[in-house]
Structure 1
C-alpha cells in the first residue's frame, strides 16, 4: 500500500513504516503530524485517484528529527568583468516516519 501526498507544495510517494525527508514542518521531535492532501492511494492494486484530493484519506506520521541537507553552492560570474560572487546554503528538512495510511 502506498500513497502520493502533497507536503508543502511537493509530491511524495509514501509507504507505511518508511521515512520521508520533507521540507521543514512545524512541530517538535516526536510529535504526530497528519497530511490531508492525499492525491492518490493504491491498496494492493485498487487505485483511488483524487480530484484533486481523495476524500476521507489521511496519512499520519511522526516527526523523528529536524536535519539539514547537503550544502548547495551558488556561484555567479561574468567573464572579463572581474565579477565573482559565491554563496551557499543548507536546506532544512524534517525526517518523518509514516505510521498509517487511511
Structure 2
C-alpha cells in the first residue's frame, strides 16, 4: 500500500518504512506527527482519489532528525553595470520515517 501526501507545498509518494526529507516541521526528534493531507491512496480494494484530500485518511510518521541541506549559490549579475550579488542558501529540512498509512474509506 502506498499514498501520495502533501506537506510543505510539495507532494511525496510514501510507503511504510520509508524515510523522506520534507520542509522543516515544528516537532521534536523522536516525536510522532500525523499528516492528514492525503491526495491518493492505493490499497487492496483499489485506488482512492481525493477531491483534493481524502476524508479520514492519515499517515503517521516518526520525526527522525532535523538538518540543513547542501549549500547552493545564488548569483545575480546586472549586465553592463559592473554590479553583482553573490549569496549562499541552505534549506532546513526534517527527516520522517513513515510508520503507518490508514484509511477509513
TM-score where L is the length of structure 1: 0.95
Q: Is 1:13 aligned to residue 13 of structure 2?
A: yes
Aligned to 1:52, the other structure's residue is in SS state coil
TM-score (normalizing by structure 2) = 0.93
Indicate the SS of the match to 1:70: coil
2:43 aligned partner: 43
What's the offset of the Cα at 1:80? Answer: 2.1
Number of residue equivalences: 102
Q: Partners of 1:100 and 1:90 in 2: how far apart? A: 30
- What 5-or-longer segments of structure 2 have no aligned partner? none
Residue segments in structure 1 that go unaligned for 5+ positions in a row: none
Quote the residue 2:85 is aligned against: 85
Q: Return the structure number with greater strand share.
A: 1
| Correspondence 1:1-102 to 2 at 5 A | 1-44=1-44, 46-102=46-102
Q: 1:44, CA displacement in angstroms?
A: 4.1
Q: CA deviation at 1:33?
A: 0.2
